[in-house]
């Protein structure tokens, strides 16, 4: 094996038109993936392909389709669908794999390819390495007799909506709730509002008119200002913001205040704990220290992983726990699905509110949230902290000021040319001071 050159923490991602996010590379990627999954399957070979609403999705859908068919694999085209929907449908169709064309929360000029195995989980390292090994070989098209075929799945949207509704106990209702739903002009535009509406809620829709270019533009889970204003204006009980591919969720309470992924995980965990059903929670290096402390006070075990939902899922499977996620809003309910699902996680929060009859802004107060600030420093090339003693000294100096009452973290982004500098402590003024000092050193050294 040659290792992984293209696969990052969440598939392959980059700017459209810049290698490897080009039509010719994606065609070969489809062929390589088709060969790998063909070798590991007996009988019918089927791979599902879905996408978000970026204009480049048309191009990459066709390229993947051509590569997979050339490898002798049948293709089921789902059209615009949330990432977690593709994971779910891959299992229900008994397909060898599911492929998602998406760059998640990134702007329309980016795109990416990520994979799910037949079990609905993201690929293991060895499968990704096998695909990369085939990328080094020339494409050899199967004989015409053995070429794959393609068809469109017309009922994919309805199947996923019913799945989401079915993650709540029988008889559950959202009757009486008024919810503003921001779909980021992305892949949930035709699914999420209908899930909440069919469960009885009054739904006000935001950012549900994708045009190929407006995905995540001033909307969605990473830019909640539009939702905050709408919740207050509409007098809604809450707002729910999803990202471009639907695997992240963020809430806004009835007063217009944001509720992030850590707070949502805490709300779900506490409710499950009260029902006797929370064995532990997996977070990441970026999870708020306050969540860890608050879970500990409830007697709920907590573990941190590297940043990336795949690492959270690995930790959950290893420990046989069911709940985990990231402060960005990737929330995994492992008893209900195999990957982060914004709609499913939102329903769990709503279920906790309904069962306890407590509003969200009160539920979230059970978690003491530590002040946390992150500064993104744009870099020109890959970053290795060991090569920069000046930065190491700045970190050491900051840690001495924290005196074990907080955390500092430097982390290169897995999807963008950035180094994220994060400081967290009980003292907000100290947080602001230290994050700026360290970020300035990082920028001077590698910016």
124 labelled catalytic: no
Q: How far apart are CA 182 and CA 442, in angstroms?
A: 35
Kindly state the DSSP code that residue 330 receives in the 8-state scheme.
B
Q: How far apart are CA 6 and CA 8, in angstroms?
A: 6
Token pair 């977690």 is at which residue?
84
Kindly state the DSSP code that residue 368 receives in the 8-state scheme.
-
Residue 40 in contact with residue 90, Cβ under 8 Å? no
| E strand segments, 73-196 | 74-80, 97-101, 110-117, 150-152, 178-182
What are the helix (H) ranges across 176-319? 192-198, 225-234, 261-274, 289-298, 309-319
Give the bridge partners for 330, in sequence order. Answer: 248
Token pair 């959270």 is at which residue?
312
**Main-chain phi, psi angles of 387, to 5 degrees:** -90, 0
Q: What angle do CA 331, 221, 163 make, to 5 degrees?
A: 50
Contacts of 442 (CB under 8 A, 6+ apart): 377, 391, 394, 410, 419, 421
Coil/strand/helix, residue 429 = helix
Token code pair at residue 308: 């990336």
**Pairing mode, strands 238-242 and 178-182:** parallel
38, 104, 221, 328: which is the annotated catalytic residue?
104
Count CB atoms within 10 A of the CB of residue 362: 11
**Pairing mode, strands 406-412 and 418-425:** antiparallel
Q: How far apart are CA 86 and CA 68, in angstroms?
A: 17
Crossing angle for the helix pair 289-298 and 261-274, to the nearest 10 degrees: 10
Residue 426 in contact with residue 405, Cβ under 8 Å? yes
Measure CA 290 to chain center: 22
Q: Which residues are catalytic?
A: 104
């Amino acid at each position: 094996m040659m290792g992984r050159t293209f696969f990052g923490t969440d598939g392959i991602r980059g700017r459209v038109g810049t290698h490897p996010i080009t039509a010719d590379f994606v065609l070969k990627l489809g062929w390589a993936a088709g060969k790998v999954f063909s070798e590991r399957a007996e009988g019918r070979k089927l791979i599902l392909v879905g996408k978000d609403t970026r204009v480049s999705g048309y191009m990459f859908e066709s390229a993947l389709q051509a590569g997979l068919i050339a490898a002798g694999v049948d293709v089921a085209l789902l059209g615009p669908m949330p990432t977690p929907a593709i994971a779910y449908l891959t299992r229900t169709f008994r397909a060898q794999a599911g492929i998602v064309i998406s760059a998640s929360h990134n702007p329309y000029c980016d795109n990416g390819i990520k994979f799910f195995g037949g079990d609905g989980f993201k690929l293991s390292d060895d499968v990704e390495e096998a695909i990369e090994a085939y990328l080094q070989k020339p494409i050899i098209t199967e004989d015409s007799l053995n070429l794959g075929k393609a068809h469109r799945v017309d009922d994919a949207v309805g199947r996923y909506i019913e799945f989401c509704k079915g993650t709540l106990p029988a008889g559950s209702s959202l009757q009486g709730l008024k919810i503003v739903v921001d779909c980021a002009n992305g892949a949930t535009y035709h699914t999420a509002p209908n899930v909440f509406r069919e469960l009885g809620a009054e739904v006000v829709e935001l950012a549900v008119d994708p045009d190929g270019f407006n995905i995540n533009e001033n909307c969605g889970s990473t830019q909640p200002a539009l939702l905050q204003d709408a919740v207050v204006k509409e007098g809604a009980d809450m707002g729910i913001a999803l990202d471009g591919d639907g695997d992240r969720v963020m809430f806004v309470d009835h007063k217009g205040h944001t509720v992030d992924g850590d707070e949502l995980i805490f709300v779900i965990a506490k409710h499950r704990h009260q029902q006797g059903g929370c064995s532990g929670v997996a977070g990441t290096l970026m999870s708020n220290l306050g969540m860890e402390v608050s879970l500990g006070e409830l007697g709920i075990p907590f573990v941190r992983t590297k940043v990336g939902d795949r690492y959270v899922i690995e930790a959950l499977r290893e420990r046989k726990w069911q709940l985990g996620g990231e402060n960005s809003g990737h929330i995994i309910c492992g008893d209900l699905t195999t990957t982060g699902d914004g709609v499913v996680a939102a329903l769990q929060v709503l279920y906790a509110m309904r069962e306890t009859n407590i509003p969200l802004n009160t539920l979230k107060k059970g978690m003491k949230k530590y002040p946390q600030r992150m500064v993104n420093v744009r870099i020109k090339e890959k970053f290795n902290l060991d090569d920069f003693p000046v930065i190491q000294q700045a970190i050491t100096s900051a840690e001495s000021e924290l005196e074990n009452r907080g955390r500092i973290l430097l982390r290169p982004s897995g999807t963008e040319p950035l180094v994220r500098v994060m400081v967290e402590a009980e003292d907000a003024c100290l947080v602001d001071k230290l994050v700026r000092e360290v970020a300035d050193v990082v920028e001077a050294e590698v910016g």
